[in-house]
Chain A
Amino acid sequence: MCRDDRYAGANLVEAAMSAPTAGNVTPLEWEDMQALLRFGFKHLTQASFLLLRVKDRDAARVWLAAAPVTSAVTSKPRPSTALQVALTSDGLRALGVTPDIVEGFSNEFIAGMSSDPGRARRLGDVAASDPSHWTWGTTKHVPHVLLMLYATPETLDGFQQSIQAQFGVGFEELACLETSAVGSKEPFGFEDGISQPKPDWDRERPVCDQEQYAYSNLSCLGEFLLGYPNEYGGYTDRPLLDPQRNGAPILPRAEDAPEKADLGRNGSYLVMRQLSQDVHGFWRYLDQQAGGDAALRERLAASMVGRTRDGEPLVGRTNEVIAGNATKPEGDLNAFTYQSDPQGLRCPLGAHIRRSNPRNADLPPGDPGLVSRLIRTLGFDAEALDNDRVASTRFHRLLRRGRKYGGQVTPEQVLIGAPADGESGLHFICLGANIARQFEFVQGAWIAGTKFDGLDGEGDPLLGHRQPGPDGTRTDVYSIPDPNGPDRRLMALPSFVTVRGGAYFFLPGIRALRYLATAG
């Protein structure tokens, strides 16, 4: 099988030969990880996200050096409040972190989400979602620091006030993004957050580069945590420092380069986007398409999402045993792949959940024999090629930690003409070790891409921007494959989701946070 020692390591192969392998693992440093990596804080139903800019560098550093950040260590009873801290590259610079350290982070993080028109094109941030319209996240409105406050209903206000009092000298508040109480439904009314990758906390997966022939929900730690091996058996680049450097001795050593201090270890990148959802527009459009037929309206909505409002997958519960899922597939809303529905007859190819997680493996399905694998690898199996238009899922997973905001209305309320109760939507948050390969790829190629899986010009039914293609062809379409004829098509889809702001953050390990606040 795979020889761990040969494949590990990114920079120094020799040094990496001692990288931990299954059965030879140093215990995870929960106390150095921010809790968000491990938990979604569902029991802390209230949250608010504070976007800060540095006002007084020294005071800001003093506060960050001792900020009461919640670690991933479990405690009983569970805490009633939690604080998480993340920083943008602008923030690192504003805090006086030296340029050579900032340059050690990924290009996407350094440049930022709103930095150039090319990125906006790739991410589909055009028209109403163009960064020039954002309420935060561009030019002078790029946050330096993100504080994420989680609390029980009774404690949020007091907790927020005390934190605000603490950082007040060092920071000014750019915005306070409020959220609504945790409930399982997102604003359009669908059960949300059902599918999540499972980080391989026990480090069961061997450190190696090996083709995977089945979809797995278990992701190598390095997909979400910097400083650990990823799905390729390599380490994602992050700042590695001279351990003798001022302050650096507090940092952990790099697994793949033990002579270096690892600033990334136990940290992650955090992508945040404020997505405003037009709930009224969504249900009114569907009602109109369904000619007022409530059951049809519901079916159309479900086909756009790929699940019913209760979360039932349209492809059906195929009860597949999938690594990383609940051990009993019965009753598990994630025990399925799309392998039995290659034409999208049960779940349309362009459905939101099929785009954002295609649940495929490295090779298109076929006979497990060596010969068949070779034929498929060389591309000589026409049927396999037809099922090979979507990239392998395991390199493009997102650990989602979003919270919704605004009031909740039901479709029925919308359709009897209940007025919109302010704006509602999602503070989309995801964690990942590689912004380009994870968030930007999923958002660009799978969500905004109008040619996903061979489709003829249409974006994601929920998130698509609907702008015409380069040849002027429309993309405001949604195709629902039909076994008895040509695709049924929803036409003139309005845009239901508008981006209001966004930024790329670094969610540091706790030692790294202290280092960034004190060194340099």
Chain B
Amino acid sequence: MTPQSQFMVVATIAARWELGLRLVLGTMNAEPGIADPRNVLLPFGEFDRLHYARLVILEDATLGDIAAHGLPTPSFQKYLVFMGDCDGPASEMLADLSQRADVGLRKIFGHCDDFGAQSDVLTWMMARDMPVAVNYVNWLGRTVRQIKQESALQRVLSAKVPREAIQQTAPGVTAQQVRRDLIAFVDVERRAGRLTLTPPEPTPFAWLLAKLFHLIAIPLVGLIALPLIIVLLPFVVILLRKREKSDPEIYPRPDPQALQELRELEDHDVTNQFSSVGSVKPGLFRRWLLTVVLLLTDYACRHIFNRGHLGRVQTIHFARWVFIDNKARMVFASSYDGGHEAYMDDFVNKVAWGLNLVFSNGIGWPRTDWLIKRGARFEQRFKYFQRRHHIPSQVWYKAYPGLTLTDLKRNQHIREGLECAAMTDTQALTWLRLL
């Protein structure tokens, strides 16, 4: 099994080069915001371990919200953020990128204020790769290669499976027989080189060990700290409730023009991108609370939510939560199936509790109760808040357009059923019905 990883390179844009950068990024797209996989600068499609990638000019229109907490607006420069989700270690992906797209990356990063002509692209990117607080992967171990091969398999089988034959004309044919024929057909196709089904690679031992260590270490630390947690809990609850009653809510209607800009980038594929930024509420309490919540979320994503769903939400391919600017701000970015309205509705209706846990520590979030109640359930307030913190992704790449997570899961089952040694008639029928 090949684990997935991510990178997020954050660099400051030189103010005078911003316009030029926008123009350069624009040349990478086939449609507004949708990368051309063969673009000259960064031909994403050539990197067969890359699931998703995006280039975002991080500009925060909500910095002034901190005035509601009686603090002056901080001045952060605009950042160029380069994110990617890949199979295997991110360091290898970045090395691969810098090797094969050196010229293009130089042209892009040349707009950042500390990138010099002599800079080594890889070293420069590695130095600016931000650690993530939480990285969510919908299905741990599912590689780009596997997704593409299984999709090809599904198409071939779906076209080949005799639909009428089973149903009407030939009632004598059993599901097992049909399945055996299809297996034989796939064998022929594979021998002819028309289909490939590469077996998974062995799981890296060091990664497995680190995962196991993490699995045990966090609860262990929690256990050791339990007496302290019990003593502190009442104080935390009192401090939290006090803040929940008084923290300002900020959810004006998003600017129509900004909204229009975001919408132009959406619905070109069955999957969409979401990038957002916001400030963490001032003070140590919220900062620590958020750190702990994200630590636990990270634990849940690493060990529990890595098999097709994050809570009830089954439409998020990858997501990440990243602190920037010394924890003054946080970036959340994801790739999800369906339209943006459906995405927001899922947030409100299915995982409002989870969103509240994290985002109620951000400035302006709709009022929560006990950290998980209300908040995002204020539908209108939440939708305004969410769109207002949403920032355009100038370039977004997806390695498998047209495929949703439901497709990926079904295709995976099809392959498993194909490679399964023996099946009962019922199992064979269930398998056929996936086609």
Q: Judge if A358 is at the interface, Cβ distance under 8 Å.
A: no
Once the chains bind, are B406 and A237 in contact (CB under 8 Å)?
no
Stretch with Cβ within 8 A of A (4 or more), from B121-129, B159-167, B219-227: B159-167
What are the interface flags for A39-82 relative to B under an 8 Å C-beta threshold, 1 for contact and 0 otherwise? 00000000000000000000000000000000000000000000
- Using an 8 Å CB-CB cutoff, how does the interface string of B387-419 with A read, 1 for contact, 0 for none? 000000000000011111011001000000000
Instruction: Indicate if A395 sits at the interface (CB-CB under 8 A).
Output: yes
Give B49 Cβ to nearest chain A Cβ, in Å: 20
For B335-346 the 0/1 string (1 means CB < 8 A from A) is 001110110011
Any chain A CB within 8 A of the CB of B92? no
The reply to whether A482 and B167 form a contact with Cβ atoms under 8 Å apart is yes
Complex CA gap A398/B429 in Å reads 39
Which chain A positions have C-beta within 8 A of B404? 451
Contact among B259, B266, B312, B432 for A379, CB-based, below 8 A: B312
**Is B337 a contact partner of A485 (Cβ separation < 8 A)?**
no
**Contact between A469 and B163 (Cβ–Cβ < 8 Å)?**
no
Q: Is B77 positioned at the interface, with any CB of A under 8 Å from its CB?
A: no
Q: Which residues of A contact B164 (CB under 8 A)?
A: 488
B359 to chain A, nearest CB (A): 18
B267 engages A234 (CB within 8 Å):
no
Q: Which of B166, B305, B339, B379 contacts A122 (CB 8 A)?
A: B339
Nearest CB in chain B to that of A232: its residue: B379
Within 8 Å by CB of A486, from B337, B367, B402, B435, lies B435
The 10 A-B residue pairs with the shortest CB-CB distance, nearest first, are: A471-B402, A485-B166, A454-B406, A379-B312, A470-B401, A379-B309, A118-B263, A232-B379, A469-B402, A470-B269
User: Assuming A391-B346, A395-B349, is B311 touching A234 (CB within 8 A)?
Assistant: no
Q: Are B311 and A377 in contact (CB under 8 A)?
A: yes
Q: Kindly state whether residue A473 has any CB partner on chain B within 8 Å.
A: yes
Contact across chains for A118 and B163 when beta carbons are under 8 A apart = no
Docked pose: A93 CA to B374 CA in angstroms: 37
Chain B residue nearest to A115 in the complex (CB): B260
**Are A488 and B342 in contact (CB-based, < 8 A)?**
no
Minimum Cβ distance to chain A for residue B431 (Å): 10
A234 B378 Cβ-Cβ under 8 A: yes
User: Besides the contacts A209-B377, A486-B158, what 15 more A-B pairs have beta carbons closer than 8 Å?
Assistant: A10-B380, A118-B264, A122-B267, A230-B379, A378-B311, A385-B312, A391-B346, A451-B270, A451-B407, A454-B406, A456-B158, A485-B166, A485-B175, A486-B166, A487-B435
A235 to B378, CA, bound (A): 10
Q: How many angstroms between the C-alpha atoms of A386 and B401 in the bound complex?
A: 23
Produce 1/0 per residue, A358-402, CB < 8 A to B. Answer: 000010000000000000111100000100110110010000000
Total contacting residues, chain A, CB less than 8 A: 55
Answer yes or no: A121 CB below 8 A from chain B CBs: yes
A357 close to chain B: CB less than 8 A: no
Q: Which residues of B contact A119 (CB under 8 A)?
A: 263
B267 touches A107 (CB 8 A): no
Residues of B within 8 A of A13 (CB): 367
Partner of A395, one of B155, B345, B374, B432: B345
* Residues on A facing B (Cβ under 8 Å): 7, 10, 13, 107, 110-111, 116-119, 121-122, 209, 230, 232, 234-237, 362, 376-379, 385, 388-389, 391-392, 395, 436-437, 440-441, 444-445, 449-451, 454, 456-457, 469-473, 481-482, 484-489
* Shortest Cβ distance from residue A207 to the other chain B in the assembled complex, whole angstroms: 14
Give, as a whole number of angstroms, the nearest-CB distance from A345 to chain B: 10
Report B270-327 residues with CB < 8 Å from chain A CB.
Answer: 270, 305, 308-314
Task: Judge if B180 is at the interface, Cβ distance under 8 Å.
Answer: no
B268, CB-defined interface residue at 8 Å: yes
Contact B432 A232 (CB under 8 A): no
- Please determine whether B270 and A377 come into contact, CB atoms closer than 8 angstroms: no
Q: A485 and B433 in contact (CB under 8 A), knowing A379-B310, A449-B338? A: yes
B residues within 8 A CB of A122?
Answer: 266-267, 339
Within 8 A of A (CB), among B228-279: 253, 256, 259-260, 263-264, 266-270
Are A388 and B312 within 8 A (Cβ)? yes
Alpha-carbon distance between A111 and B407 when the two chains are bound, in angstroms: 34
Contacts of B51 in A (CB 8 A): none
Q: Mark B15-59, 1 if CB is under 8 A from A, else 0.
A: 000000000000000000000000000000000000000000000
Does B381 reach chain A (CB closer than 8 Å)?
A: yes
The answer on a CB contact under 8 Å between A391 and B270 is no
By a CB distance below 8 angstroms, the chain B residues around A234 are 378-380
Name the residue of chain B whose CB is nearest to the CB of A388: B312
Contacts of A378 in B (CB 8 A): 311-312
Cα–Cα, bound, A454→B374 (Å):
30
Taking the closest CB of chain A, its distance from the CB of B168, in whole angstroms, is 9
Within the complex, the shortest CB–CB distance from A369 to chain B, in Å, comes to: 18
**C-alpha spacing A469/B339, complex, angstroms:** 15
Q: Which of B305, B379, B406, B429 is in CB contact (< 8 Å) with A451? A: B406
Query: In this complex, what residue of A is CB-closest to B433?
Result: A486
